[in-house]
Chain A
Amino acid sequence: QVQLRQRGAGLLKPSETLSLTCGVSGGSFSGYYWNWIRQTPGKGLEWIGEIDHGGSAKYNPSLKSRVTMSVDTSKKQFSLSLSFVTAADTAVYYCARSVVGRMEYWGQGTLVTVSS
Chain B
Amino acid sequence: DIQMTQSPSTLSASVGDRVTISCRASQSISNWLAWYQQKPGKAPRVLIYKASSLESGVPSRFSGSGSGTEFTLTISSLQPDDFATYYCQQYDSYSWTFGQGTKVEI
Contact = CB atoms under 8 A, between A and B. Distances in A.
Contacts, number: 55
Interface string B5-49: 000000000000000000000000000111010000011111001
Name the prevailing secondary structure of the A interface residues. strand
Contacts of B95: 47, 58, 60-61
A45 B98 contact: yes
Interface residues of B, number: 24
Nearest to B96: A47
Give the interface residue-count category, chain A.
20 to 34
Interface of B: 1, 32-34, 36, 42-46, 49-50, 55, 87, 89, 91, 94-101
A94 B1 CA distance: 21
Contacts of A35: 96
Given A47-B96, A47-B98, A60-B95, 20 more contacts: A35-B96, A44-B101, A45-B87, A46-B98, A47-B97, A50-B96, A61-B95, A94-B43, A101-B34, A101-B50, A102-B49, A102-B50, A102-B89, A103-B36, A103-B44, A103-B46, A103-B89, A104-B46, A104-B55, A109-B43
